[in-house]
Each structure stands twice: as C-alpha cells, then as structure tokens.
Structure 1
Amino acid sequence: MAVAPAPLDARALEHHVLDFLAYLEFERGLSRNTLEAYRSDLLQFGAYLRSVRVDVLETQHTDLAGFLDSLAQPHDDRPASRPATLQRKAACLRSFYRHLRRENIIQHDPTADLRAPRKSQKLPQVLSRGDVDRLLRAPNGTDPGALRDRALLELMYACGLRASEATDLEVGDVDLEAGVLRARGKGSKERLVPVGREAITAVRLYLERGRPMLTATSDDRHLFVNRRGTGLTRQGLYKIVQRHARAVGLEDRMSPHTLRHTFATHLLAGGCDLRAVQEMLGHADIATTQIYTHLSAERLKDVYFSAHPRAA
C-alpha cells in the first residue's frame, strides 16, 4: 500500500519568507509597499506549493514554471494574470531563491532558467511643449493654492519627479541658489537633480507668498502642503494635476507620471546624454531609460510623416 507523503511544514516557509523580508527591509531599504507585494506573492506561491505537495526548499524549475502557468490561466474565482503581474512574481521568486542560496539554505537555484511571458512595451503618454506650457499656466492667480500648484507642476516637469518624490520633498531639499534638488527615490536612494529657471522662480514665489499662509498654524517641514498646513498626500497631488489638466483639456492624457515621461523625452529630444537622463530619473538600470529613446524616435517619425511632402 502506498504511503501518503508527509504534510508540508507551512511554518518553515513562513520563517524563510520573514527572514527574506527582513533582509529586503534592513539591508536593501525597500519600501513598505514593495515589501507587502513580495509578501503577498510568496504567500500565494506557498499556497500553490502546498496544493502540489512540494517543499519550498526542494522546488525545481518545473514547480516554479507550473506556478506561473497556473496564474496565466483563468479560474472560476479569478481572471488570468497579466504578463506584467507574472513578470513581477517571477522577479520575486528569483530574488527569494537567490537569497536562500546566498544564506547556504539551498545549494541550487531553481529560478536560473525561469521565464515569465514578456509584457508588451507600451509607450507612455508624453505631452508636447505646447501642452506643457498650457498646463503650467493653468494655476493662475496669486492665492496660496495657485502659487503652490504652479510651483508643484513646474518642479515635477523640471526634475522628472515621481509623485511620491514630490510629496516627500522637504523645504531643505531644494537649494534655489545652487539650482539643485535632492530627491529620495525608490529604496530610499537619494539623487541630485538640476532645477531650471522657471521652476526656481515658481518655487521661490510659493515659499515667499504662498506656503507661509498655508502653514500659519503648522510647523510641517514638507515643501508642498495642503490648506491645513500638512504635507500633500499622493491622492492630493493627483487631484491637483487632474484639476489643472481638465482645465486645459488634457485630462485623458494626463497623470502625475506623465510629467516625468515628458521630462525624459524632451531632454533626449534636445540632445541630452542617455546616462545623464538615467541619473536624473534615478533608474537603477539604463534599460529602463531606453524606452524614452524609442519614444523620441516615434515622435520624430510623426513629425517626418506630417511635414515631408513625399513621405505619405
């Protein structure tokens, strides 16, 4: 009579996951949101391993591929995962098992040949120079909110800031005399970015006439604050961007990240070196920055076919 396999120890997986997350938090400095995403992916992976009765330390490439294949198929309780989601989960598993090998917990790497479906590279939305001018002029007036919104939009476009980087800025992070800004990006990595003349003017005006009125009853150190004098949230920033985009007819093409995409594309179109753009954006891998070279090429093609008399 066949002997049933011993039940898997769920506590062993939990121990290894917690140790891995501690490594990511304290040695790699990853954000809470990223840690929670890794935790969720690994718990889902653990549930799959229990269903196929495979121990986390004895997995082979076929087990990992089976997990991703199961997610790629629709089920009664959920749709099929998108290629971008599968890519993220595959990256999580690679990082997890390399950590186990680095700690000498396993002697092999089952993720060595792991591949997830490639996500299609969708070119991001980018504004024209005319669109940018209209957007940046949308916050008119001299009331504190208008001065803040103008400074915020100018600075995001001038420096290619992520939404979280803009809301995390403190007053001391912007040196208007030197014309530089210190941004804290993913993984708490800091970088210095030049600030252009128009943005310096807008931020200086906001600091002199807008922010003091907004923080009359607050000692908050954030550069951009709401009408209660506390730091803007990402949701608050999104509403500001959408309000002004709607005012100039750009709401369907506009998000806070659009200004970052536009920043990079306009720099490359103006002849800026790709490595310099990578550094200003805070990209760890230059391959991430290279999408903007493709985007610049697409824009050049559009101009060519609309302007050349024998192109169409």
Structure 2
Amino acid sequence: MDSRLDAFLAHLAEQRWLAPRSVETYGYAVRAYLTHLQGRGRTPEKADQKAVRDYLKSRQRNGLGPGGIHQAIIALRHFYRFLGAVDPTVGIPLPRLRPKLPEPLTRDEITRLLEQPGGPRFVHIRDKAILELLYATGLRISELVCLEAGQIELDTGTLRVRGKGGRERIVPFGRRAGQALERYRALRRRRFPEIAGVLFLTARGGPLRRTHLWRRLKDYARQAGVTRRVSPHVLRHYAGFRTMPSCLGLSVGRPQF
C-alpha cells in the first residue's frame, strides 16, 4: 500500500506539478485514510461511501475543521482517480468554506521582491520577466508555465491565455513587464534557437515546472527580507487588488506604465 501512495505522490509532483506543500497535504490525508481502512481490514478498492464517511467523522472528532475535511475529500478524489478505482467519495458534499484571502504584501515588499532578479545570467533575466509578468497580469502559475511566445504581443502589450474551461482571454501588461519579456525572449532565441514550445525554460532548456518556480520565488522573497509567506497566488491576488476600479479610492503598489 505504501508503494501506491508513493507513486501517487510522485504523480502529483511530477505529472500534476503540484506545489510541495500541496503534495504533503494530500499525502497526509491519504496516509491517514489508508491507516483507518487497514485498522478495519479494508482496502481502498473495497471501501464504500460509509467507510469514507466514518473516516471523515473520526477526523472531525480529532479536531479537524471544515477546511481540513475539504482538503481530505479532495485528496481522496485525486487518489481514487489515480488508482482508476470506483470513487466512494462521489455524493459526499464538500464543506462550504469562506474564501481566505492571502495577506497582501506592502508596497515596499513588492518593490524589493521585484528588484531581486537583477543578475546577468539566463535564470536572472528569465525570473525578472516572470515576476514582472505575474505582478502585471495576475496569471495563474499553471497558465504562466504553459505560455508560448506566440501568445505574447509586445507591440500591443497583451497576451492570449487559455484558462480554466478552455476559455481564451486577452490580458494586458505594462511597459515594465514588456521590457523584461523582450529582453528574455531575445536571450532565449540566442541560447536555445532550436527549442520551440513553452516560453519559459530552465537553464538547460527544459520546460519550467511549477515546483521550480515556487522555490525560486521563495528564495527571492528571503533575499528581499520578506518574512511573510510569498507565493504566485499572493502576487495574483495583489495584481487583482491593484487593478480594481479607481472609483473605489484604492491606490496601492507600483503604477503600470
């Protein structure tokens, strides 16, 4: 059973490109579930909806709140999809949660973070373009790592993104992000002229993965002296907050040019 759990976690990290913290959360929930079933002489394939409900109730009795129950159900759904077995979580409703907004960074923290990738190396120029683009557009990290050069129009300062549900949208970006992208694209063409496909590459020419980007962002936050948790989602939230209509009387962050 441990081998299947290990294979599942490797699948989440390497195929689904989940962040390390998400993989850890899913692993904890599934491991607890397998232990619960083993203590009752059952396997995941033989478990029914009642067995899942019993497991969730036992977690609730041990103090797990609605957010944890929600995560546990999602983790089990992914696990059964990975196994290709009948999913006993079908019909079990997810707890209703209040959306928890990430704590926004201050103007000074954002400025210091964006100034970090200032070196001459390929990874510095690439990361500068990534941070400026995340800040300017609020792209999801999954959208950014799949972005191709043909989706970006530097002349108009826009890019085309295919998001959730396969719907395409046009996203504008400012002059600063455009300059960083132009510099990176020129360097990428010189360094990897034969590689097509995704825009953002590793130093060896491979596709950039979400976990790698998470680590880079955390490193830059530490170098910038930002002590609170920083993630691509925080920048996405900040971009959305910054671009709210001016009639709301909000004025935050660095202006777009």
TM band (smaller chain) = 0.5 to 0.7
2:231 — aligned with what? 255
**Percent identity over paired residues:** 34
**1:200-257 Cα distance to aligned partner (Å, 9 max, x none):** 111011112x2134425x4132111111112211112112211211110125321121
Q: Which runs of 4+ in 1 moved over 6 A?
A: 31-34, 43-46
- Going from structure 1 to structure 2, the CA distance change for 1:204 and 1:271 (only over 3 Å counts) comes to farther
Are the counterparts in 2 of residues 144 and 213 from structure 1 also a CA contact under 8 Å?
Answer: no
Q: Which amino acid aligns with 2:173?
A: V
Q: Which amino acid aligns with 1:202?
A: A
Comparing 240-249 with 151-160, greater Cα deviation is found at 240-249
- Going from structure 1 to structure 2, the CA distance change for 1:33 and 1:215 (only over 3 Å counts) comes to closer
Which of 170, 173, 183 is the aligned partner of 2:151?
A: 173
SS in 2 for 1:181: strand
Are the counterparts in 2 of residues 138 and 248 from structure 1 also a CA contact under 8 Å?
Answer: yes
Which of 175, 181, 196 is the aligned partner of 2:174?
A: 196
Distance apart, 1:124 and its partner CA: 1.0
Counterpart-to-counterpart distance in 1, 2:191 and 2:66: 44
- Going from structure 1 to structure 2, the CA distance change for 1:127 and 1:49 (only over 3 Å counts) comes to closer
Counterpart-to-counterpart distance in 2, 1:129 and 1:167: 26
1:245 — aligned with what? 221
For normalisation by structure 2, the TM-score amounts to 0.64
**1:88-128 Cα distance to aligned partner (Å, 9 max, x none):** 749x99xxxxxxxxxxxxxxxx96xx865433443212122
- Going from structure 1 to structure 2, the CA distance change for 1:49 and 1:134 (only over 3 Å counts) comes to closer
Which of 78, 93, 104 is the aligned partner of 1:126?
A: 104
Any stretches of 5+ residues in structure 1 without a counterpart? 1-30, 52-66, 94-109, 273-295, 300-312
Counterpart-to-counterpart distance in 2, 1:47 and 1:248: 49
Cα RMSD after superposing both structures:
3.7
> Which has the larger Rg?
1
Q: Does 1:267 align with 2:249?
A: no
Q: Does 1:235 align with 2:211?
A: yes
SS in 2 for 1:191: strand
For normalisation by structure 1, the TM-score amounts to 0.54
1:84 — aligned with what? 67
2:85 — aligned with what? none
Return the structure number with greater relative CO, CA threshold 8 A, min gap 6.
Answer: 2
SS in 2 for 1:182: strand
Q: Which amino acid aligns with 1:48?
A: D
Which of 139, 142, 152 is the aligned partner of 2:130?
A: 152
Are the counterparts in 2 of residues 214 and 225 from structure 1 also a CA contact under 8 Å?
Answer: no
Counterpart-to-counterpart distance in 2, 1:214 and 1:227: 9
Any stretches of 5+ residues in structure 2 without a counterpart? 1-14, 19-25, 34-42, 78-89, 253-257
